[in-house]
């Protein structure tokens, strides 16, 4: 597909859900079913475009394919430039694949949305807008373009968290939801402002170096990347370190990385299960994607300088998230804390600066999205039946809802990276890639495997096994609509656990190119293999 696409497929990819969101608002009031069905068709159309891109993507071709390059703000050297590499491709497919399932998951659950005749219109429109903003963020090859949509996606996500949630007359619960939404927005806006300062600083450097086509500055990611990695970016190491930290801070808030994580559990519990999955499995991936693309490729020297520190923070996040998950009494909050631990693994793999670590981190982004979606949505179905999130109020669910309990177990086992399920492959690659560079960090990170087994299996034992507790005898099993949501996620976990090659074939070249570009090579083995034995007539001495 080369460097330039004849048809603007990437524009179509993100414009379809955006236009769909606008049209959804035009549906007459009260047409809940109609507008939800329309939004589902729009999301399936977006998925179709993503699948077509995947089939046309050349694994051995140019690093960035389907490239579109048009003028946007010529005075600032900013262009409307889009392109797709293997890393972005798998995240595009994750996003486009999850959104239809999330729309189906919330189809008839009236207790999980606000009130009013047009509530469904607003809900599906905001979901499609978030999808659109995420897709253009994954495909943007202009730094300013990326920044704009990196920030804009916060607005619809804020309304999804604060405006929709469990329908209750409890004033305290509504206030808690509002606080969680504001906390989410303030944290991420502050991170974005720090990043804006870094974006401006980077532009000033490119203007001074006359990297733009007209002899001025530029926001073209590829031009800045080439200058940074060829040593032609005229800035002192101290300045480049500061710019790196500006970008990294924003991505660390979004991902999130300990200790900038505190907004995530509150937001995940306050939102509807579908919106929480959209945030944790899709939106937050923009943060880890930004680390892999922008931090590494624009600031290779600063990356090497700060990689050990970031790896330490990632390990703390891995263990911290797992320990707090063990102590939770709220099932939804427990799952939210597991995501903090998993994001620690992703960030650890990125900053191990090895091919195994980077490949594992990228695959982990995909697998975490699938496993978290499955576990959180199934828990959401169960909570909506029982009317409570407290683990202590469940018990014996497997006797009254065996399919729900079974799929919950499979999703939980995927979360603890059981061999045979998708997250195992990615977590194994991250640990192997980290061990070759930071063996102590890898050993501490591996301890989280034991902690994960503890919080998952203990949660399952308390909720699903034993006698049926009072109030649970009327719980019912997964409905056909819910099975439509859960089944593809379980199949994906099993398939990618047994055969991850189709995804790895697209990730590997992009990760290898990234590390080669920044001059990073896998560490040599500590122990060299013995020399080949000398032929001594069949006798080895």
Non-local CB neighbours of 121 within 8 Å, separated by 6+ positions: 24, 25, 27, 29, 31, 35
Any idea which of 173-177, 197-201, 326-330, 422-426 has the lowest mean pLDDT? 173-177
Average pLDDT, the chain: 87
Structure tokens, 277: 């999955």
Q: How confident is the model at residue 107, as a pLDDT?
A: 79
Q: How confident is the model at residue 364, as a pLDDT?
A: 95
d(CA 286, CA 306): 20
pTM over cut 0.75? yes
d(CA 448, CA 92): 29
pLDDT exceeds cutoff 90 at 199: yes
pLDDT exceeds cutoff 50 at 2: no
The mean pLDDT of 9-34, rounded to a whole number, is: 91
Among 315, 290, 310, 417, smallest CA distance to 353 is for 310
The mean pLDDT of 371-393, rounded to a whole number, is: 89
Q: Do the Cβ atoms of 346 and 427 come closer than 8 Å?
A: no
pLDDT exceeds cutoff 60 at 292: yes
Q: How confident is the model at residue 170, as a pLDDT?
A: 62
Coil/strand/helix, residue 361:
helix
Q: How confident is the model at residue 296, as a pLDDT?
A: 92
Q: pLDDT confidence of 218, banded at 50, 70, 90? A: confident
Q: Which residues partner with 422 through β-bridges?
A: none
- Listing DSSP states for 124-155 in one string gives HHHHHHHHHHHHHHHHB-BHHHHHHHHHHTHH
Return the residue matching tokens 């974006």: 199
Structure tokens, 162: 């604060």
Q: How confident is the model at residue 116, as a pLDDT?
A: 67
Q: How confident is the model at residue 526, as a pLDDT?
A: 59
Q: Do the Cβ atoms of 300 and 228 come closer than 8 Å?
A: yes
pLDDT exceeds cutoff 80 at 399: yes
Structure tokens, 288: 């880890």
Q: pLDDT confidence of 411, banded at 50, 70, 90? A: very high
Structure tokens, 287: 């943060």
Q: pLDDT confidence of 180, banded at 50, 70, 90? A: confident
77-117 confidence digits (pLDDT tens)? 788 999 999 999 999 999 999 999 999 988 765 444 555 66
435-447 confidence digits (pLDDT tens)? 998 899 999 999 8
483-504 confidence digits (pLDDT tens)? 999 999 999 999 999 999 999 9
Q: pLDDT confidence of 3, banded at 50, 70, 90? A: very low
Q: How confident is the model at residue 1, as a pLDDT?
A: 42
Q: How confident is the model at residue 540, as a pLDDT?
A: 41
Any idea which of 88-102, 182-196, 257-271, 516-530 has the lowest mean pLDDT? 516-530
Non-local CB neighbours of 327 within 8 Å, separated by 6+ positions: none
């Amino acid at each position: 597909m080369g460097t330039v696409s004849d048809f603007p497929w990437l524009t179509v990819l993100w414009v379809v859900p955006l236009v769909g969101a606008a049209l959804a608002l035009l549906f007459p009031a009260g047409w809940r079913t109609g507008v939800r069905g329309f939004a589902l068709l729009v999301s399936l159309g977006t998925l179709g475009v993503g699948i077509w891109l995947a089939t046309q993507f050349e694994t051995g071709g140019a690093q960035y394919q389907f490239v579109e390059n048009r003028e946007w703000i010529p005075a600032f050297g900013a262009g409307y430039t889009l392109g797709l590499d293997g890393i972005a491709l798998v995240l595009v497919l994750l996003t486009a694949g999850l959104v239809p399932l999330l729309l189906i998951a919330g189809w008839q659950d009236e207790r999980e949305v606000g009130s009013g005749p047009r509530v469904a219109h607003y809900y599906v429109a905001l979901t499609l807008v978030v999808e659109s903003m995420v897709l253009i963020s994954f495909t943007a090859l202009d730094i300013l373009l990326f920044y704009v949509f990196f920030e804009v996606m916060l607005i619809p996500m804020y309304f999804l968290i604060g405006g929709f949630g469990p329908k209750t007359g409890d004033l305290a619960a509504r206030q808690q939801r509002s606080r969680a939404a504001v906390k989410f927005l303030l944290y991420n806006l502050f991170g974005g402002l720090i990043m804006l300062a870094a974006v401006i600083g980077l532009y000033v450097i490119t203007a001074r170096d006359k990297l733009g086509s007209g002899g001025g500055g530029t926001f073209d990611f590829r031009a800045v990347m080439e200058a940074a990695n060829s040593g032609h970016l005229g800035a002192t190491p101290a300045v480049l370190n500061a710019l790196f930290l500006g970008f990294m801070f924003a991505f660390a808030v979004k991902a999130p990385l300990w200790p900038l994580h505190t907004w995530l559990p509150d937001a995940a519990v306050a939102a509807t299960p579908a919106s929480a999955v959209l945030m944790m499995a899709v939106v937050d991936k923009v943060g880890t994607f930004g680390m892999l693309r922008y931090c590494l490729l624009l600031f290779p020297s600063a990356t090497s300088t700060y990689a050990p520190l970031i790896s330490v923070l990632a390990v703390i996040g891995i263990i911290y998230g797992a320990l707090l998950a063990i102590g939770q009494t709220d099932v939804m909050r427990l799952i939210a804390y597991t995501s903090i631990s998993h994001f620690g693994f992703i960030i650890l793999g990125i900053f191990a600066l090895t091919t195994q670590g980077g490949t594992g981190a990228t695959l982990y982004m995909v697998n975490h999205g699938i496993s978290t979606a499955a576990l959180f949505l199934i828990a959401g179905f169960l909570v909506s039946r029982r009317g409570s999130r407290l683990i202590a109020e469940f018990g014996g669910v497997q006797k009254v809802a065996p399919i729900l309990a079974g799929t919950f177990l499979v999703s939980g086992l995927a979360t603890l990276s059981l061999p045979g399920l998708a997250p195992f492959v990615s977590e194994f690659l991250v640990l192997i890639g980290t061990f070759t560079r930071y063996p102590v960090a890898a050993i501490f990170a591996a301890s989280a495997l034991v902690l994960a087994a503890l919080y998952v299996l203990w949660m399952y034992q308390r909720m699903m096994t034993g006698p049926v507790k009072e109030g649970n005898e009327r719980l019912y099993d997964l409905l056909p609509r819910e099975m439509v949501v859960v089944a593809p996620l379980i199949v994906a976990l099993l398939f990618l656990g047994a055969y991850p090659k189709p995804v790895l074939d697209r990730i590997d070249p992009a990760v290898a190119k990234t590390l080669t570009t920044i001059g990073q090579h896998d560490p040599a083995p500590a122990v060299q293999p013995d020399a080949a034995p000398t032929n001594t007539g069949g006798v080895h001495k």
